[in-house]
Amino acid sequence: MIYLDNAATTMRKPQEVIDAITAAMCSMGNAGRGVNEASLGAARTVYDTREKLAGFFGAEDARQIVFTMNSTESLNIAIKGILNPGDHVISTVLEHNSVLRPLYEMEKKGVEVTFLGCDEKGTLDYADFEKAIKENTKAIVCTHGSNLTGNKVDVERIGEIAQKHGLLFVVDASQTAGVFPIDVQKMHIDILCFTGHKGLLGPQGTGGMYVRKGVHVRPLLSGGTGVQTYSKTQPEEMPTALEAGTLNGHGIAGLDAAIGYLEETGIDTIRAKEQALMKRFYEGVKEIPGVKIYGDFSSMDRCAVVSLNIRDYDSGEVSDALLTDYGISTRSGGHCAPRMHEALGTVEQGAVRFSFSHYNTEEEVDTAIRAICELAEEE
């Protein structure tokens, strides 16, 4: 199988990640729940990973890094933990359901939500953010990169707007963490939400969030923490405040190794390879009669994603043909980005998404180009 669905999850992981998980499965106890070597070893792994993530994202303190199971959990904690009835929040049509659905829930509880639109290429107008600010605006929540078009959002520019107006800034880095440099201080990010199983090359079931010092987030969960056992309330100190229950220690061990791999290989090297593959594919299919590509390709400094359709051919049928006839795995349908599809006019048809990893090859890309050419001719 030629795997070109890396925006959903990176299937191929570094061998270091696999080895770390295997070792942890054979030796790891429960971090913070004992003084035996198995428990202490787990605690050391968790702490080391916090330190690496803090450095990776430019956090001021490792204690501001919280572990979750994925971006969805992180975004739920953030959105439900900072907004109150009467607040106003600004978001965009680019968002994944991990942002949209928590916002809809908060809207039912009295939070006012404004979704900013985009142009025909899925590009935001940054002037719209300031225009949308009201007296009761509490936060801006937006993605760093669209999982449908691959367009990268200038979060530093939005962060400056948020800081200027005293707003909280929450960023969904699901498609960018591990591929693009992220500095939460420079970008004025108050809460960064990320997953471990995509660009970070870690295992599924891992993720986390950075919370700036001084930003209070209500816990989504409460329960065992290993500390303050006799308190009736969740501890307020970070990161314990937002980490109830046993952590995914085995997964965190894999994430720890993944970050080590990224640091050694270099995210600039990884990004250059992925973008080169994306460009090769884009250049190979953009002139094929009947093929429509979505997104802004005026700059190749974007997520390694190309979404397209062939005339009015159902995207699911195209994806099935790619897998059945060519052994190419892609993603079709709505991509959990309903507002983006509404903006692009592809609600009924969906789109076929090709997303690339640095593990992919030029030969695989050329096979995908040939497949699209032949399918377009057949149709």
How do residues 296-324 score in pLDDT, each as one tens digit? 999 999 999 999 999 999 999 999 999 99
Q: Is 144 helix (H, G, I), strand (E, B) or coil?
A: coil
Residue 193: name the closest of 175, 181, 205, 179 by CA: 175
Catalytic residue among 193, 303, 336, 373: 336
CA distance 331 to 354: 7
DSSP, collapsed to helix, strand or coil, labels residue 198 as: coil
* CA–CA gap between residue 178 and residue 348 (Å, rounded): 33
* pLDDT value of residue 206: 98
At 379, the pLDDT band (50, 70, 90 cuts) reads low
Please report, rounded to a whole number, the percentage of residues in the chain having pLDDT higher than 90: 93
Could you read off the pLDDT of 15-49 as tens digits, one per residue?
Answer: 999 999 999 999 999 888 888 889 889 899 999 99
Q: What phi-psi label fits residue 27: left (phi over 0), alpha (psi between -120 and 50 degrees) or beta?
A: alpha
pLDDT above 90 (res 171): yes
| pLDDT given for residue 325 in this prediction | 97
pLDDT at 378: 82
% of the chain exceeding 70 in pLDDT = 100
Task: Evaluate if residue 226 carries a pLDDT over 90.
Answer: no
Place of tokens 């030969």: 363
Q: Per-residue confidence at 280, pLDDT binned at 50, 70, 90?
A: very high
336 is catalytic: yes
Please report which confidence band the pLDDT of residue 349 belongs to, taking 50, 70 and 90 as the band edges: very high
